[in-house]
Structure 1
Amino acid sequence: MAWQGLATEFLQVPAVTRTYTAACVLTTAAVQLELLSPFQLYFNPHLVFRKFQVWRLVTNFLFFGPLGFSFFFNMLFVFRYCRMLEEGSFRGRRADFVFMFLFGGVLMILLGLLGSLFFLGQALTAMLVYVWSRRSPRVRVNFFGLLTFQAPFLPWALMGFSMLLGNSILVDLLGIAVGHVYYFLEDVFPDQPGGKRLLLTPGFLKLLLDAPPEDPNYLPLPEEQPGPQQP
């Protein structure tokens, strides 16, 4: 019964958050069970572009290391802030949310080439936290009961805690930088004199992921009354 309750609750989580979290957990479980090796998942431009192992462009965002405190810490932040974005500023805009993932992922891979970074899931987490924090500047955050501060300080607190866990500070800085680029292009630049939206979600994503808009001129048919029906 407990498992059924957890499954029911998980299915109520928005689709993008549910899909990404499940993919991360299943990938880590497969590595833990030795069905996959991290060497099959990490980003390697030579293997991607010369050997056509294109799945590495995705799998490097799904593996956060072996099961342990660091993994659960990352999953907590992925699930919480991905869900808060999807249920908040991206509510009813699933295509735009997926496009944010795609934009961030592509930019991280391009910048990651400069730093020889092999796994970028932590950077994507930092990006999600950064975008949420800039869109919720007045929210006060309690950081594991230790510190309380305004939301814009959260990415830096997360980076400091991640460093204490032995993770590379470069990965978090990459995520914060990409998050700032997205936030500036999406939320700041369009409101500047002469500014405009540069990040336009492709139409095919909207067709695939968003519900079609309702026609404001549509008038529903009157409800049928019980009784003899005309052929």
Structure 2
Amino acid sequence: MPVGIEAWFSQVPPITRAWLVCAVLTSLAVQCQMVTPLQLYFSYKAAFNNAQLWRIFTTFFYFGNISLDFVFHLFFFMRYSRLLEESSFPHQKAGYFYMLFQCAVMLLLLSPLVTMPFLSSSLAFVPIYLWSRRHPSTHISLFGVLTITAPYLPLALVAFSWVLNGTWHAAAGDLLGCAVGHVVWFVRDVWTREMVGGKGWWSEPPDFLRRLMNEI
């Protein structure tokens, strides 16, 4: 591995880095026919009735076969997950993991309602949405063509995904991620500030998780 890539990789925050590695390895495993997508998707029947509990996790790591859509989702997820982890959760591995865990649980509960076997793109859009809400005045250049402010970024990416795949269904997972991201932003930022007046259990990781990640 070139030194430049190795140095860049080591600078990626730990939770984002671990998620990125799992996503790339999962897609490579499918591409090399070591596993099939049928072994990775999530359904309550397969996961719980058939005791295939790994599906609870693999549904968040498989972004599809290596393609333009795969690169699109992985690039924007990595970029804004990194920015969010560095700006809102500096040296707080447990805090960022806890936030993603809460979002993952919400997505698993919603998945039967929207019939989505893979929730990777949905979870990947949560950091994008949350970062855009926490940096509302930031200007972003999309592909050097269009300049927008951060709050419009998630919708712009959803539209691009729609155009890229040619069907609205391809963007349904991204929209679900935006919806969950909005709930997280409202509860953690708006509700906590205006109604509670301080952080609660939903925004502070439990002690056992902080111990597990050597933060206590």
**Would you say same fold, with TM above 0.5?**
yes
* SS of match in other structure, 2:72: helix
- Partner secondary structure for residue 148 of structure 1: strand
Q: Which residue matches 1:229?
A: none
**Counterparts in 2 of 1:90 and 1:210: CA distance versus 1, 3 Å:** farther
Determine the structure 1 residue equivalent to 2:178: 176
TM-score by length of 1: 0.87
Match of 1:9 in 2: 8
SS at match of 1:62: coil
Report the residue type matching 2:16 in the other structure: T
Matching residue within 203, 206, 212 for 1:208:
212
What is the distance in 2 between the residues matched to 1:209 and 1:176? 28
SS of equivalent residue, structure 1 residue 141: strand
Q: Give the deviation of 1:175 after TM superposition.
A: 0.4
2:56 maps to 57
Larger Rg: 1
After superposition, the Cα gap between the structure-2 partners of 1:169 and 1:207, relative to the gap in structure 1 and judged at 3 Å, is same
Q: How does 1:73-222 map to 2 (within 5 A)?
A: 73-166=72-165, 168-194=170-196, 196=198, 197-199=200-202, 200-212=204-216
Alpha-carbon separation, structure 1, partners of 2:171 and 2:33: 28
Hey, what's the Cα distance between the residues in 1 that align with 2:158 and 2:142?
A: 12
Alignment correspondent of 2:28: 29
The alpha carbon displacement at 1:195 in A equals 5.0
Q: Which structure features the higher share of helix residues?
A: 2
Q: How many pairs were matched up?
A: 211
Q: CA-atom RMSD, angstroms?
A: 1.4
Matched letter for residue 211 of structure 2: L
- Inter-partner Cα distance in structure 2 for 1:70 and 1:194: 41
The separation in 2 between residues aligned to 1:175 and 1:83, in whole angstroms, is: 17
2:206 counterpart letter in structure 1:
P
SS in 2 for 1:164: helix
| Structure 1 counterpart of 2:13, one-letter code | P
Alignment of 1:20 with 2:19, yes or no, is yes
Q: How does the TM-score come out when normalised to structure 2?
A: 0.93
> Unaligned regions of 5+ residues in structure 1, if any?
213-231
Determine if contact 1:92/1:210 at 8 Å carries over to the other structure. Answer: no
CA contact (8 A) 1:23 1:62 kept: yes
Corresponding letter in the other structure for 2:22: A
**Identity among equivalent pairs (%):** 39
Deviates more, 1:198-207 or 1:163-172: 163-172
What are the Cα deviations for residues 107-142 of structure 1, in whole angstroms up to 9, with x where unaligned?
Answer: 011011111110111111211100000011111011
3-12 or 145-154, larger mean C-alpha shift:
3-12
1-structure distance, mates of 2:197, 2:4: 48
